[in-house]
Amino acid sequence: MSREQLAVQRARRSFQTGRTKPLEFRIQQLKRLQSCFQERQRDIKRALQKDLGKSEYSSELYEMLLVEAEIHLSVTRLAEWAAPRPVEKNIFTLSDDVYVKPEPLGVVLIIGPWNYPWSLTLLPLVGAIAAGDAAIVKPSEISSNSSKVMAELLPLYLDQDLYPVVEGGVPETQELLKQRFDHIFYTGSTSVGQLVMEAAARHLTPVTLELGGKSPCFIDKNCDIKTACRRITWAKFINCGQTCIAPDFILCEPSVQSRVVEAIKKCIKEFYADSPKTSDDYGRIVSQRQFRRIMGLMDGCTVAFGGDADESQGYIGPTVLQDVTAESKVMQEEIFGPLLPIITVDGVDEAIRFMNKREKPLVIYVFSHDDKLIKKVIAETSSGALVANDCIVHFLDSALPFGGVGHSGMGRYRGRHTFDQLSNLRSCMIKQLKMEALNSMRYPPLSAKKLGW
């Protein structure tokens, strides 16, 4: 039996003992995960520094605090989430007990990405523990230091049979995908998402797919361009552009393009001084393969500024590309790196047409003072989320279900939404064996008279 099979078998057996059913057990495990984060933050930060050049502060802000807040929310709200949810009654159920009871699904497979290897792997785990599931955690092999530390740390804090970490790359993931799960939660590229869904279909396993895509950002010419560009620059260049909800490209009118370029340039200087390369706050590209892919995307583009790189360090400077066309290479795939193309359009209508010709993205960003314009973009486009006048901050609000649509993914998570996604929302109807006379109309032989027609 393979290591992967064994892990799944153990998790299932442990799940079947009913150990995860009491809420106290789930809360205890969540608190242990919290302790792991508090006691071992140095190990986690060191791994993130090695994998992606993340600074201590950025690791804390974008990886650890997010998970800790999710644990806190789950611990404090679990009793409410797990309680029976009464539903509206109708004339036939007036005297019945009718409710939805969330129950654990079983064994969940969590396949994580490398860009935020801790938060994007452990946020689903928090939901799985809260929902009373067992979970196999498969961190990305690309962020190898984080994967190793996760495999060392989690078994020291969590139930080892219920929540094992299985390390490995493609062959190990494929072996895992042959097993039967009750849910697969995958975060990563759209192409691998298709393979995951194919494998899941063999066992009729439901999936949550948190995928990628090109999230557009429209800047209205009448808005406060300075502030808009400050927010865009922050969101685009965190983690060296390797953020699934980073604005992928800008759409704006030709008359404001040079102001946008200048404003972003100023922000880069403000955030990273004269040298992003030596700034603690500017990260690195995760691998040589990604480095070369991103550099290749600049082919045929006009660099407004940036474009500097150092392969030995996995460094690509913050780069803005101007007058980019829809046909250029950089517009054919998700950039997932620190390149920001600007495409000019003749107004919001053309921007909307441009967006609608492409796959539905994870997010659409729009910067404008005009509420009507914002509502127009909401009404005439589709995406996993829409954020006006800011970028990526919607991920911080766990009340908003996070996810994609179409090629950017399926299923929603964060906070209670993860709990619901990883629970069986079981419909319960409890009737009494009394008042049988009321049922007589449904029993054969049926007739118009009996039905009162």
- The answer for residues whose C-beta is within 8 angstroms of residue 76's C-beta and 6 or more apart is none
Rg for the chain (alpha carbons), in Å? Answer: 25
Number of other CB atoms surrounding residue 393 within 10 Å: 13
Number of other CB atoms surrounding residue 338 within 10 Å: 27
Helix (H) or strand (E) holding 75: helix 65-82
The per-residue b/e assignment along 113-134, b for 16 or more CB within 10 angstroms, e otherwise, is bbbbbbbbbbbbbbbbbbbbbb
* From candidates 98, 111, 294, 330, binder to ligand NAD by CB under 6 A: 111
Counted residue by residue, the chain has a size of: 453
Give the largest CA-CA distance in the chain.
Answer: 87
Nearest approach, Cβ of 439 to ligand NAD (angstroms)? 49
Nearest approach, Cβ of 31 to ligand NAD (angstroms)? 26
Nearest approach, Cβ of 189 to ligand NAD (angstroms)? 4
Q: Is 113 in the site for ligand NAD (CB under 6 A)?
A: yes
- By CB under 6 A, the count of residues binding ligand NAD is 28
Where does this chain touch ligand NAD (CB under 6 A) — which range of 12-20, 139-147, 322-330, 428-436?
Answer: 139-147
Q: What is the DSSP string of 162-178?
A: TS-B---SHHHHHHHHH
The residue number with the shortest CB distance to ligand NAD is: 212
Nearest approach, Cβ of 338 to ligand NAD (angstroms)? 15
Where does this chain touch ligand NAD (CB under 6 A) — which range of 61-69, 187-195, 224-232, 252-260?
Answer: 187-195
Q: Which is nearer to ligand NAD, 115 or 179 (CB)?
A: 115
User: Does the active-site annotation cover 244?
Assistant: yes
Q: Is 169 in the site for ligand NAD (CB under 6 A)?
A: yes
Q: Is 125 in the site for ligand NAD (CB under 6 A)?
A: no
- Which position has the token pair 């922000």? 267
Task: Say whether 336 sits in a helix, a strand or coil.
Answer: coil
Where does this chain touch ligand NAD (CB under 6 A) — which range of 96-104, 168-176, 252-260, 386-394?
Answer: 168-176
Binding mask 407-436 for ligand NAD (x = CB under 6 A): --x---------------------------
Where does this chain touch ligand NAD (CB under 6 A) — which range of 17-25, 110-118, 217-225, 320-328?
Answer: 110-118
Where does this chain touch ligand NAD (CB under 6 A) — which range of 64-72, 136-144, 155-163, 291-299?
Answer: 136-144
User: Does the active-site annotation cover 350?
Assistant: no
Q: Is 173 in the site for ligand NAD (CB under 6 A)?
A: yes
Cα-based torsion angle of the residue sequence 402, 404, 408, 410 in order, rounded to the nearest 10 degrees = 110
Where does this chain touch ligand NAD (CB under 6 A) — which range of 207-215, 229-237, 271-279, 323-331?
Answer: 207-215
In 175-322 the beta strands, taken as DSSP E runs, fall at 183-187, 207-210, 216-219, 249-252, 302-305, 309-310, 315-316, 319-322
**Out of 36, 223, 244, 301, which one is annotated catalytic?**
244
**Out of 4, 210, 253, 334, which one is annotated catalytic?**
210
* From candidates 107, 211, 267, 340, binder to ligand NAD by CB under 6 A: 211
First to last CA, the chain: 64
Q: Which two tokens stand for residue 325?
A: 């066309």
Q: Hey, CA dihedral for 420, 15, 138, 196, is it positive or negative?
A: negative
Footprint of ligand NAD on 357-416 (CB under 6 A): 362, 404, 409
Peptide bond into 445 cis (omega under 30): yes
- For the purposes of burial, counting CB atoms within 10 Å of the CB of 206, is it exposed (0-12), middle (13-18) or buried (19 or more)? middle
Q: Which is nearer to ligand NAD, 132 or 247 (CB)?
A: 247
* From candidates 62, 114, 218, 365, binder to ligand NAD by CB under 6 A: 114
73 alpha carbon, distance to own chain's centre: 18
C-alpha to C-alpha distance for 184 and 182, rounded to whole angstroms: 7
Q: Is 210 in the site for ligand NAD (CB under 6 A)?
A: yes
Q: Is 185 in the site for ligand NAD (CB under 6 A)?
A: no
Q: Which is nearer to ligand NAD, 122 or 348 (CB)?
A: 122
Q: Which residues are catalytic?
A: 210, 244
Q: Which residues bind ligand NAD (CB under 6 A)?
A: 111-115, 120, 138, 140-142, 169-170, 173-174, 187-189, 192, 195, 210-212, 244, 334, 336, 362, 404, 409
